[in-house]
Structure 1
């Protein structure tokens, strides 16, 4: 498990460097939330989910819905790195005529649904999970939401339906970085106590450090053992994770790094990669 965790951490650092470079090049993007969800996406796409890059519409694939669609930058980089489309296309992000727009676009292989109108993703993922049950299929449905998104009433309608239908093939994740576009989630619209609310709605709730790969791996594995209810991973994260000057700073919700900031961020992430490489070699 430790070696797998180290490899996934290395991959996450690489994805962070890619997304920062992409955002800098395009002059647009949601930096903070993409950095906070990178470890979650890396764990899902490189270890947990059942996918076929050569057949993106494979009927038995696991499905992923990015409900917090504005943080798509990390997902574009993951899909490119996995081979769903050429990495060269990342250079077109947010530019005229591109497929890689600022929210998930289902014209791109690997994207299930156009998302980003907050509060809709969990309903879609619930429908997908219910369809699997009705069709007697064993694929799983995953949905990543933002914490500010928890103020949307449609989230709770979907949560109630998922519990009613005992959708144990559904896993929702909340990227709990505690910041949204206009400041602290608890100042804008208090959402606590989140764990108690989701438990009361009939979900199996697993609090987890959203940047601890081993904890994420264990939580996703535990979710697969639940028989009678959906699971929520309450992933405590840091907005801007991995970049010292962006961490826990609300302004980095959609701020673009300038040349000097980009270089500093790349240097910090490269130093992390070197540290992880050393740890991996020691273990080998």
Structure 2
């Protein structure tokens, strides 16, 4: 799919995300805005998935390790056809299957339950290892936050992936420089991330995580380095696309007022570049 069309889809997902957070009175809107371009490129360009056959054994897998941004994943899945678009209106409601964190048992297209940070990459290493053992061609992708990279379990998984030459595994780090309550630099600053992953034997790319041309190129199968897992450090902005949310730590977990909601939607309705 052409980058311009991907940008339009991402913009549509952003608008629906903001409305769902506003209507539900809860959500992680800032981190969702930073990850939506990545999710859009994955589901509408890079990944081999079929909404009519969500358990196809030959499908590519995505693990959203930063599970608190589940709403962005749900809306992306609805745009792709895995779940009805109208179901997004049930987000966080009583008996809804669209909970605050993804649930593989309930939601088609979700590959594993996530929430506790630092678990998604280890699970993805297991998936990629399984594909190697089966001599299968499908790829495994995992998205983590940059604050999440402070978890030691991730670095154990990083070592294992390099040891077993999992070139069918791609780690995407949503590097928006902010985590709950503080900047990454003010807590446990794991940046710069690229040289650390390279030191562990990974093939690493750094990109603008809101540039569709760069994202799609980085995710393309022909750019995989044989014998090495891939890490894409995607430099993003928390609250991307909304002026008062952008790069603002307060919007990790906050609900817009009616006036803020209307301003956000008005800004997002501007034509995507």
Give the TM-score of the pair, scaled to structure 2. 0.97
Deviation at residue 272 of structure 1 after TM alignment: 2.5
Q: CA RMSD in A?
A: 1.1
- What's 2:247 paired with? 248
Structure 1 residues 64-75: aligned runs within 5 Å = 64-75=62-73
Query: Which structure 1 residue ranges, 5 or more long, are not aligned?
Result: 277-284
- What's 1:132 paired with? 131
* Number of residue pairs the alignment of both structures matches: 272
Is the counterpart of residue 186 in structure 1 residue 189 in structure 2?
Answer: no
Alpha-carbon distance between aligned partners in 1 of 2:212 and 2:85, rounded to the nearest angstrom: 25
Query: Which structure 2 residue ranges, 5 or more long, are not aligned?
Result: none
- Alpha carbons 1:171, 1:223 under 8 Å: kept: no
Alpha-carbon distance between aligned partners in 2 of 1:4 and 1:105, rounded to the nearest angstrom: 31
Alpha-carbon distance between aligned partners in 2 of 1:216 and 1:39, rounded to the nearest angstrom: 8
- Alpha carbons 2:224, 2:230 under 8 Å: kept: no
Deviation at residue 95 of structure 1 after TM alignment: 1.1
- Alpha carbons 1:169, 1:224 under 8 Å: kept: no
Greater helix content: 1
- Alpha carbons 1:223, 1:231 under 8 Å: kept: no
Alpha-carbon distance between aligned partners in 1 of 2:71 and 2:108, rounded to the nearest angstrom: 15
Alpha-carbon distance between aligned partners in 2 of 1:26 and 1:223, rounded to the nearest angstrom: 41
- What's 1:215 paired with? 214
Alpha-carbon distance between aligned partners in 1 of 2:141 and 2:183, rounded to the nearest angstrom: 26
Deviation at residue 222 of structure 1 after TM alignment: 6.0
- What's 1:120 paired with? 119
- What's 2:32 paired with? 34
Structure 1 residues 1-284: aligned runs within 5 Å = 4-106=2-104, 107-221=106-220, 224-273=223-272, 276=273
Moved over 3 A (4+): 222-225
Alpha-carbon distance between aligned partners in 2 of 1:167 and 1:180, rounded to the nearest angstrom: 29
